[in-house]
Chains A and B, each alone.
Chain A
Amino acid sequence: MRRYNKEVIYGIYDDEEKLLQAVRRAKSKHLDILDVYSPFPVHGLDQAMGIEESRLHQAGFVYGLCGTLTAFLGMSWIFTKDWPIIFGGKPYWPVPAFIPITFELTVLFAAWGMTITFYTICGLWPGVENPQLDLRTTDDKFCIAFDSNEVSNSDVRSFFTETGAEEVNTKSI
């Protein structure tokens, strides 16, 4: 089990609308949210929390480009330098014939690169046990968590009451 050595105070909501309003309210009250947990991607939560758009797709472009270059330069080197052979009277460097494999390797590199990057930056991997605040957040509950050392306890508790949290709990993770 991974450890963060944090005291966490968290509230449980039963609906994503309440969650969104609560997150917006926390922003306006300058309460620093540690994390939000939900059973599915809640539309508009990124903007409400101020999560920047992921740069995964930029990374994907770079990986894809690596695939393009690997395939195209690799085939070009093999057919013009390493072992030139004439196939069916075609030129040594048949660029149109390289397009399918170049395309496939672009997709292959981009997809694998992005997926591996995704799991790595999220700290998700087979065998990893990440601490969970409440098991119901993968079912039907939504959770907002604060770091107890970062926010005042009374502020947070009144925030949870005002925004309609069903339960408020603490946990050290």
Chain B
Amino acid sequence: MSAVVSPVRRPLIEGNKTYHQITEDLCTPTERTPSRAWVIAFIIAVATMAYGFFCIGWTIWMGTGSWNLNRTIGWGYDITNFVWWIGIGHAGTLISAILMLFRQRWRTGVNRAAEAMTIFAVICAAIFPLIHVGRIWVVFYFFPYPNVRGPLWPNFNSPLLWDVFAISTYFSVSLLFWYTGLVPDFATVRNRATGLRKKIYNFLSFGWTGSAKHWSRWESLSLVLAGLSTPLVLSVHTIVSFDFATSVIPGWHTTIFPPYFVAGAIFSGFAMVLTLMLITRKILKLEEYITLEHIESMNKVILVTGTIVGVAYLTELFIAWYSGYVYEQFAFFNRAMGVYWWSYFGMMACNVISPQIFWVKKFRRSVLVTFIMSIFVNIGMWFERFVIIATTLARDYLPSSWSYYYPTWVEIGIFIGTIGLFFTLYMIFTRVAPVVAIAEVKSILKLGGNQYVESHNYKHVHGFSDHHGHEESHHESHHH
């Protein structure tokens, strides 16, 4: 392969890769025996997951009475964790679909892993509504089907039912999108494999050959799936926010919820993507694929969405005051100064104040700072959901029914267990599939200029490219 020199653009993939080198770099993690570190981490993840399943089993066996929910506080850890996980999932779709529509080519380095994260996060999220209904064995009542109970149908006016549709659609469409991207890469792995491994990967790759016509349709399909996923991902957290906003609880009943929740979802999702990517790129030595440019771009998204979330918090406070509605005012006063002041403080510190350090380029490009910040944001966004749910419910209209909520060991165990499940699935994924989309990275290799000359400055090479628009040539003539 001959190299194409693009002196003006920084390369999206570093290290002057050839196509073959990309195949080697990205396929070998699935081919070599797992490292000791991986095995130890995997055992920890599986053990955590197993404990979580034990607690889920306990909940199902003993009933939701094993949780500390009561008549005042009907939603606690369960829905907090559900919203937290669902929000985390949003970043994967944002990267793979919305950035695809915006032709942000840097996304190819991270979209595969981010979308895997989406799918695993949605699996973790889905556990909570399933178990919090109490009688999981009749959970299929959620779905409208001709039944012998009348037929009696679910309530299509209810945002909780909209959520069932939104989340199942989101999960299955994300899975299709992700898997369709994986098919050509599984074929690449297959063609390097022998024996049983070859058979398995042929099965997974659906017999992909790389025919031009298939590629043409594949691109067409990917584009439409991206187009469908974009409004879909926005709808999912919008509908999750309707679960709260359509109720008449002060602090929940606000029109700002949909955009505020979507921004928060993207914010927390990018934080989790960064947490995972920083570990993955280090362990699998993918620093040339998941570059500092990626980290910086994602940190910019964190800064923007964190600030949007901050504006939403302040807007809520302002509107509560401005509405003159005493219950609304009390709800927000209670959040900031009430018994759960510490969770409000954690939320503000982690989500609004700490991301502001990303105005500084040095911090945006620092792996250590980014990693610490990503953990902060994950914690902060968990607090946000806890503030919205538990704090609000703990102090309702009737002081006689005020209550205080703290989780039991079962609820904590389930939450920790979902983290174990998430990492178990993610770690299996890094062993089975290429964590960076091989075909997509190859297709942008030259566009990004794999021979970018660091010392060239833009003015000197201005005449080389034939891509200049009118303004730019105009600008240039002025310059001379």
Contacts and interface: CB of A to CB of B under 8 A. Distances in A.
A137 interface: yes
B207 A124 contact: yes
A118 B180 contact: yes
B164 to A, nearest CB: 9
B148 to A, nearest CB: 14
Interface in A74-113: 74-75, 78-79, 82-83, 85, 87-88, 90, 94, 97-98, 100-101, 103-105, 107-108, 110-112
B232 A107 contact: yes
A112 B1 CA distance: 38
B214 A122 contact: yes
A35 interface: yes
A38 interface: yes
B215 A42 contact: yes
A79 B190 CA distance: 51
Contacts of B192: 135, 139
A60 B190 CA distance: 30
A35 B213 contact: yes
Given A39-B188, A114-B225, A115-B176, A140 B157 contact: no
Given A78-B144, A123-B207, A54 B151 contact: no
Given A100-B239, A114-B225, A107 B231 contact: yes
Q: Interface residues of B: mostly helix, strand, loop or mixed?
A: helix
Interface string B162-196: 10011011001100110010011001101110000
Contacts of A103: 231, 235
A140 B18 contact: yes
Contacts of B188: 39, 138-139
A40 B228 CA distance: 23
Contacts of B180: 115, 118
Contact of B212 (A38, A56, A127, A128): A38
A39 B203 contact: no
Nearest to A1: B207
Interface stretch (B32-40, B368-376, B438-446): B438-446
B2 A15 contact: yes
Contacts of A130: 207-209
A43 interface: yes
A40 B440 contact: yes
Interface string B362-390: 00000000000000000000000000000
Contacts of A85: 155
Contacts of B155: 85, 87
Nearest to B190: A138
Contacts of A119: 206
B478 interface: no
B173 A107 contact: yes
Given A79-B156, A138-B188, A122 B212 contact: no
Contacts of A128: 206-207
Interface in B141-164: 144, 150-153, 155-159, 161-162
A1 B225 CA distance: 30
B450 interface: no
A153 to B, nearest CB: 23
Contacts, number: 193
B129 to A, nearest CB: 16
Given A45-B212, A119-B206, A40 B156 contact: no
Contact of A100 (B2, B172, B214, B235): B235
B207 A56 contact: no
B216 A54 contact: yes
* Residue among A37, A49, A111 having the largest count of chain B Cβ atoms under 10 Å: A111
Given A40-B438, A108-B172, 15 more contacts: A2-B207, A40-B440, A94-B157, A100-B162, A104-B166, A105-B169, A108-B169, A114-B221, A115-B176, A118-B218, A121-B217, A123-B207, A126-B206, A139-B23, A140-B23
The 3 closest A-B pairs by CB, nearest first: A128-B207, A140-B19, A124-B206
Interface of A: 2, 14-15, 17, 35-43, 45-46, 49, 51, 53-54, 56-57, 60, 74-75, 78-79, 82-83, 85, 87-88, 90, 94, 97-98, 100-101, 103-105, 107-108, 110-112, 114-115, 118-119, 121-132, 135-140
26 contacts: A15-B1, A38-B212, A39-B188, A39-B442, A41-B218, A45-B215, A45-B216, A53-B216, A54-B217, A57-B224, A87-B155, A88-B157, A90-B157, A97-B157, A100-B165, A103-B231, A104-B162, A107-B169, A108-B169, A108-B172, A110-B228, A122-B211, A125-B207, A130-B208, A138-B208, A138-B210
